[in-house]
Amino acid sequence: MKTRLSAIFVTLVFLFAATLPSGASAGLSNIESDELQMSYALVTQEFYKKVDPQALLDGARKQMIAFLVKNGVKAPAIPAVRANEDQRVNARALEREVAGVVSAYGAKLGARQLTYEAIGGMLASVNDKYTTFLTPKQYADLNEGLDGGCFSGVGIAIRVDEKTKQLRGNDVIEGGPAEKGGIKSGDIFTAIDGKPTKGLTVEDDSKLLRGKEGTVVRISIERDGADIAPISLTRAVIHQPSVYAKMLDGNIGYARLTVFGSTTASELTKALDKLEAQHARAYVLDLRDNGGGYLNAAIEVSSKFIASGPIVSVESRGGSNTEYDAEATAIPPRPLAVLVNKFTASASEITSGAIQDNGVGELIGERTYGKGVVQSIHPLPDGSAVKITSARYLTPHGRDINLVGINPDIVSVQPKDAKYGDPTSDVQLRSAITYLQGRIARLQI
């Protein structure tokens, strides 16, 4: 999870690096030298627990050795480095060690990759699965997932169906080629341009569906167990939304959030405004399979349903605590159900916990994932990045849900073949509708 404070930390790192002797060590470019120093400074200054400098140096060495062995180097000669009390001295020692490895083995394996291995090993040494190194591609993919990217395709979110192992359409993008062509959420794509989808990964399927704008893709579909006539779609430029909304029977507004990205709050505001104009009497907020995103997005989304009061408390290294309150942007109060499952995590759990603790809605589904820590993501000069756990968060009632999760108010187990958003097969959604219908009836008495 990334906050808007990241730039401050990056500035601190540059100040730290500026105090070191200038110039890269032999064998390393200035960029590689800077990235080693920046990464070392970030993990020592920002990780939410105190770190052991010796463990950082050992971690970098261990991963470089493992990488060299994997690539055919027998018994790599990399001497251990002893940590010093001065962190600047340690950063220079790390840089010299990596430079020595590059001088010995870089011609074959590359200075940049060896630098990446050292940074990755250093971050891995803190034993936190969320503190990791991101290659330029991984960082770009993460940004696209959180901030929404534009691509040429047909406009439908996809996943591999657990039962058939074929491609399944999840969320149809409003106004896209798939919607215009009559494709529905829950459709099974048995073949794309004649190529069977069974056994393919989502990435493989995406490559088949995407293509140059204006080109045609032909999709064979199975719907409700029966084959239907193949559908030809003309690819168009698509902006990937993070909110899918519609009105269900009984004037119950439904909004599914796929991620907490930079545009999620504004997308949700537009969706709620539209549903309010259609006289929604209650709402379902679907956070199932939502792995989180930005902290500020969780606060903004929560504020649409919580008129005032605390949303979350963030506890940083050293025990400093920052409380974030609702932003006075709430819609008129309506009965609210929040759908959650074991993949509801991070920012999704911030919103779920805030709604539950403030008593403005009921959580329905299964216990959430249990990720109660916050990450800051810091870009490095070559487009890579380091992601570091910088704090933990507590719900408004002071609950630490890390590794525990949040229990729903109403337990509902979902069958594997459910079609999200379709009340005829989505058991958890039906539970939410039943709950909301009861609340609406009581309000009318």
Q: What is the CA radius of gyration of the chain?
A: 25
Which residue type is seen at 431? S
Burial class (CB in 10 A: 0-12, 13-18, 19+), 293: buried
237/379 Cα distance (integer angstroms):
28
The CA distances from residue 340 to 65, 162, 346, in Å, are: 43, 19, 12
Check if the beta carbon of residue 311 is closer than 8 Å to that of residue 324.
yes
SS3 annotation, 8-75 = HHHHHHHHHHHCCCCCCCCCCCHHHHHHHHHHHHHHHHHCCCCCCHHHHHHHHHHHHHHHHHHCCCCC
Active-site residue, 357 included: yes
Catalytic residue among 125, 346, 352, 376: 346
Q: What is the phi/psi pair of residue 83, to 5°?
A: -75, 150
Yes or no: say if 178 and 259 are a contact pair by the CB < 8 Å rule: no
SS3 assignment, position 43: helix
Q: Which of 34, 205, 289, 357 is catalytic?
A: 357
- Residue 302 corresponds to which amino acid? S
Q: Which two tokens stand for residue 154?
A: 């047909």
Query: Which token pair is 437?
Result: 């219908």
**346 has catalytic annotation:** yes
Tell me how far CA of residue 172 lies from CA of 155, 256, 268, 283, 420, in angstroms. Answer: 6, 12, 16, 20, 11
Segments in 71-219 forming alpha helices (H): 87-109, 111-124, 136-147, 177-180, 202-209
For the chain, report the end-to-end CA distance as a whole number of angstroms. Answer: 44
- Cα dist from 56 to 82, 248, 377, whole Å: 11, 53, 19
Q: Which of 371, 384, 390, 431 is catalytic?
A: 371
Amino acid at 184: K
Identify which of 352, 385, 351 has the alpha carbon closest to the alpha carbon of residue 367. Answer: 352
For the annotated catalytic residues, the residue numbers are 346, 357, 371
